[in-house]
């Protein structure tokens, strides 16, 4: 009998703890999601409805898309999008080519001073961006590359960490494959592209996605290097909207712009959730 | 052999070129800049070599303000976010139902644009035409407020910045800690259960020591990241951070370099070197402490 009582008590206890756990987790999930909800909600309220609220409303009965049209027409948001897309894609592609070649040299080829050079590269990982950005700003200015895509892209290409990540992955591929390819007379370049890259595709994709996220959200460098609206990226665009607004402070239109800017990455995230989370836990740099 | 040697360097050439031009050279150059007194970017000339730039920066009230803000931000957000992330991860790793859904939701802030979502936080705290904003409405339920969080008193602005910073940095910490907790060998817990060890004791004697290396990794990267805070502040208070009294060290560097008060790469460099020295010192202290306490 005592046992039954104890068992029942333990069960009750367990239930309460479980409830508290879920309550806590749900609360935090709401804290995370609420800003997103508020952003979408506000973007659907009309300007007059938003500004005539005496009490902030949690739902809207007259959703409207006028803010989206307004945001797209009043500021060149579409151009910012295209700029960001060009910047992100070119930077990622150049970074991939440069990084893959270097990682291959470190992982597969032999040369004098390889270990020393690799260690030196790893040491460079510790250099904070803030320390080098000043000279890079001067360099790009001297090269007359302010307000150009090249000026935006070039300093953003280098990523020692991704060289390291890919090198580790390349080195894990069995040597036999390489020697077999060599016996068949395959060149290094062909081996890299036909054999190694297909095997290491998951890591390459992870690296590419991480870089895309980084590029899409970059703000500091583009702000320094562009003051011509024609070269603004979305971050700078949203900041410009924040500072000078749409002539008047139009929060719903601002939120519509924010929704449009956030959406591409959220879709990318939902598509590649597992890859992104695994990649970030291996080498996330933000946080 | 000679031929392969050359080929390797050919593969490395693009990466090395980028690294040298945009990482190694600037690294050396920033120290040079910081020592050149009275540098003129138009004529690229300077008067002499010395520590004047450092002295100027250290006596600049805006720098002191930025230093103070950054330190407050760092020492509030790093411990709080780490503890919060640990609590969430512990709860998360002890459940089965909905675990993936929670994990996905918690990670969402990581992939969003800091500036864009910062604007959402701003409007949550900001008064609208006829109301004091959502957060003030919630506060009034508890009989508090209204407080002007965006243009009001210093502590209120700092509070908003801290809250937003924690919101932004948590996803990474939760992700890493959940991974660490999952990698703890189940057998330790089973052994503890057999011995009748309580939950709290199990946590402090088994879980915490086993994840302590990861925890310290998070604290160290957290400090480094928090010292570089900037875009969160811009999102909440605009680019004119000096006026808002909300500038950070990184913001000070960029303002010195470019913008309304810009055009002083020497001062910016001196500030960057000071920032680097602070981060290096804190990281070393962290490493020393971790060497004493990490049980691995």
ipTM: 0.86
Interface test with B, best of A52, A71, A84, A130 (most B CBs within 10 A): A130
A262/B113 CB distance under 8 A: yes
Question: Residue A84 — very low, low, confident or very high, per pLDDT cuts 50/70/90?
Answer: very high
Which residue among A114, A220, A257 sits closest to B231, beta carbon to beta carbon?
Answer: A220
Q: In the 3-class helix/strand/coil scheme, how is A139-187 assigned residue by residue? A: HHHHCCCCCCHHHHHHHHHCCHHHHHHHHHHHHCCCHHHHHHHHHCCCC
The secondary structure element, H or E, covering residue A142 is helix A129-142
Question: Residue B1 — very low, low, confident or very high, per pLDDT cuts 50/70/90?
Answer: very low
Q: How many residues does this entry show for chain B?
A: 296
**B75-99 pLDDT tens trace:** 999 999 999 999 999 999 888 888 8
Q: pLDDT averaged over chain A?
A: 86
Residue B9 lies in a domain: no
Residue B126 lies in a domain: no
The 10 Å CB-count burial string (b at 16+, else e) for B159-188 is: ebbbbbbbbbbbbbbbbbbbbbbeeeeeee
Q: In this complex, is the C-beta atom of B287 within 8 Å of any C-beta atom belonging to chain A?
A: no
Give me the helices (H) in B130-264, please.
Answer: 134-141, 154-182, 186-194, 199-202, 208-227, 231-237, 249-257
Residues of chain B contacting residue A255, judged by C-beta atoms under 8 Å apart: 119-120, 123
Q: Judge whether residue B166 has pLDDT over 80.
A: yes
Question: Residue B2 — very low, low, confident or very high, per pLDDT cuts 50/70/90?
Answer: low
Q: Judge whether residue A287 has pLDDT over 60.
A: no
Please state the rounded mean pLDDT for residues A158-177. Answer: 87
Please state the rounded mean pLDDT for residues A234-253. Answer: 79
Which residue among B131, B235, B239 sits closest to A54, beta carbon to beta carbon?
Answer: B131
**Cα–Cα distance for residue pair A149/A226, rounded to 1 Å:** 9
Contacts of residue B179, defined as CB under 8 A and 6 or more positions apart, other chains included, come to A281, B214
Which residue among A29, A39, A54 sits closest to B105, beta carbon to beta carbon?
Answer: A29
**B101-151 pLDDT tens trace:** 999 999 999 888 888 888 899 888 887 767 777 777 777 778 776 777 777
Window from A49-58, A82-91, A172-181, B119-128 with minimum mean pLDDT: A49-58
Please state the rounded mean pLDDT for residues B217-222. Answer: 87
Count of CA atoms in the C-beta half-sphere (13 A) of B169? 34
The pLDDT value recorded for residue B129 is 67
Please state the rounded mean pLDDT for residues B258-276. Answer: 81
Q: In this complex, is the C-beta atom of B87 within 8 Å of any C-beta atom belonging to chain A?
A: yes
Give me the percent of chain B exceeding a pLDDT of 70: 92
- Which of B64, B269, B291 is closest to A136 using CA atoms? B269
Q: Judge whether residue A247 has pLDDT over 70.
A: no
**B46-77 pLDDT tens trace:** 677 778 888 888 998 899 999 999 999 999 99
Q: In this complex, is the C-beta atom of B265 within 8 Å of any C-beta atom belonging to chain A?
A: yes
Residue B226 lies in a domain: yes
Which residue among B9, B111, B268 sits closest to A134, beta carbon to beta carbon?
Answer: B268
Can you give the CATH number for the domain in which B245 is found?
1.10.3720.10
Give me the percent of chain A exceeding a pLDDT of 90: 20
- Architecture of domain A76-244 in CATH? Orthogonal Bundle (1.10)
Give me the percent of chain A exceeding a pLDDT of 70: 97
The 10 Å CB-count burial string (b at 16+, else e) for A185-198 is: eeebeebbeebbbe
The pLDDT value recorded for residue A236 is 86
Count of CA atoms in the C-beta half-sphere (13 A) of A8? 5
Please state the rounded mean pLDDT for residues B276-282. Answer: 89
Q: pLDDT averaged over chain B?
A: 84
Residue B152 lies in a domain: no
Distance from the Cα of A37 to chain B's closest Cα (Å) equals 10
Residue B166 lies in a domain: yes
The pLDDT value recorded for residue A286 is 41
The pLDDT value recorded for residue A9 is 84
Q: Judge whether residue B295 has pLDDT over 80.
A: no
Neighbours of A222 (CB within 10 A): 23
The pLDDT value recorded for residue A6 is 82
* Residue written as token pair 């290396």: B213
User: What are the boundaries of each domain within chain A?
Assistant: 2-67, 76-244
The pLDDT value recorded for residue A284 is 52
Residue B29 lies in a domain: no
The pLDDT value recorded for residue B286 is 84
Between residues A53 and B25, the one the model is more confident about: B25
- Which of B229, B89, B265 is closest to B172 using CA atoms? B89
The pLDDT value recorded for residue B292 is 75
The pLDDT value recorded for residue B87 is 93
* Residue written as token pair 């990622």: A92
How is residue A79 written in tokens? 């151009």
**Cα–Cα distance for residue pair A15/A22, rounded to 1 Å:** 11
**A38-61 pLDDT tens trace:** 999 888 888 777 777 777 777 777
Between residues A92 and B42, the one the model is more confident about: A92
Which residue among A50, A110, A154 sits closest to B128, beta carbon to beta carbon?
Answer: A50
A68 touches A217 (CB < 8 A) = no
How is residue B172 written in tokens? 């990474």
How is residue B258 written in tokens? 């470019």
Neighbours of A52 (CB within 10 A): 13
Tell me how many domains chain B contains: 1
B11/A261 CB distance under 8 A: no
Residue B35 lies in a domain: no
B231/A52 CB distance under 8 A: no
Question: Residue B4 — very low, low, confident or very high, per pLDDT cuts 50/70/90?
Answer: low
The secondary structure element, H or E, covering residue B37 is strand B36-37
Q: How many residues does this entry show for chain A?
A: 287
Domain of residue B249: give its range: 57-106+157-293
Residues of chain B contacting residue A213, judged by C-beta atoms under 8 Å apart: 111
The pLDDT value recorded for residue B224 is 86
Question: Residue A172 — very low, low, confident or very high, per pLDDT cuts 50/70/90?
Answer: confident
């Amino acid at each position: 009998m005592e046992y039954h009582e104890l068992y029942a008590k333990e069960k009750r206890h367990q239930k309460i703890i479980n409830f508290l756990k879920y309550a806590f987790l749900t609360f935090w999930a709401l804290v995370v999601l609420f800003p997103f909800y508020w952003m979408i909600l506000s973007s659907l309220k009309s300007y007059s409805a938003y500004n005539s609220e005496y009490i902030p409303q949690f739902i809207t009965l007259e959703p409207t898309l006028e803010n989206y049209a307004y945001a797209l027409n009043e500021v060149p948001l579409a151009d910012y999008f295209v700029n960001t897309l060009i910047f992100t894609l070119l930077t990622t592609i150049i970074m991939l080519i440069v990084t893959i070649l270097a990682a291959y040299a470190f992982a597969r080829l032999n040369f004098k001073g390889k270990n020393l050079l690799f260690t030196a590269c790893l040491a460079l990982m510790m250099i904070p961006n803030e320390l080098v950005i000043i000279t890079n700003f001067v360099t790009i200015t001297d090269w007359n590359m302010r307000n150009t895509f090249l000026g935006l892209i070039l300093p953003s290409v280098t990523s020692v960490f991704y060289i390291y990540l890919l090198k580790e992955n390349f080195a894990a591929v069995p040597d036999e494959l390489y020697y077999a390819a060599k016996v068949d007379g395959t060149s290094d370049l062909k081996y890299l592209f036909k054999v190694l890259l297909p095997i290491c595709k998951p890591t390459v994709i992870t690296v590419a996605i991480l870089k895309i996220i980084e590029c899409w959200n970059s703000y500091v460098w583009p702000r320094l290097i562009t003051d011509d609206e024609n070269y603004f990226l979305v971050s700078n665009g949203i900041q410009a909207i924040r500072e000078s607004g749409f002539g008047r402070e139009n929060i719903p239109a601002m939120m519509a712009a924010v929704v449009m800017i956030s959406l591409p990455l959220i879709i990318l995230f939902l598509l590649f959730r597992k890859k992104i989370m695994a990649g970030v836990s291996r080498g996330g740099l933000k946080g | 052999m000679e031929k392969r040697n050359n080929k390797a360097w050919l593969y490395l050439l693009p990466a090395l070129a980028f690294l040298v031009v945009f990482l190694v050279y600037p690294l050396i150059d920033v120290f040079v800049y910081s020592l050149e007194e009275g540098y003129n970017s138009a004529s690229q000339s300077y008067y002499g070599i010395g520590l004047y730039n450092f002295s100027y920066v250290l006596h600049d009230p805006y720098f002191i303000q930025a230093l103070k803000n950054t330190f407050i931000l760092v020492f509030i957000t790093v411990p709080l976010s780490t503890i919060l992330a640990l609590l969430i991860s512990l709860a998360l790793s002890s459940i089965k139902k909905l675990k993936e859904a929670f994990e996905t939701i918690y990670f969402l802030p990581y992939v969003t644009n800091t500036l864009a979502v910062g604007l959402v936080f701003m409007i949550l705290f900001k008064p609208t035409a006829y109301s004091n904003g959502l957060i003030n409405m919630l506060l009034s339920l508890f009989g508090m407020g209204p407080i002007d969080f965006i243009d009001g008193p210093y502590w209120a602005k700092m509070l908003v910045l801290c809250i937003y910073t924690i919101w932004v940095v948590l996803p990474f910490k939760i992700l890493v800690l959940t991974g660490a907790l999952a990698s703890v060998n189940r057998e330790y817990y089973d052994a503890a259960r057999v011995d009748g060890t309580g939950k709290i004791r199990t946590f402090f004697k088994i879980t915490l020591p086993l994840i302590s290396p990861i925890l310290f990794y998070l604290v160290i990267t957290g400090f480094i990241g928090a010292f570089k805070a900037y875009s969160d502040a811009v999102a909440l208070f605009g680019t004119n951070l000096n006026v808002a009294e909300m500038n950070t060290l990184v913001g000070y560097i960029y303002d010195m370099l470019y913008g309304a008060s810009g055009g002083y790469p020497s001062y910016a460099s001196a500030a960057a070197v000071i920032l680097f020295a602070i981060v290096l010192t804190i990281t070393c202290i962290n490493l020393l402490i971790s060497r004493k306490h990490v049980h691995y």
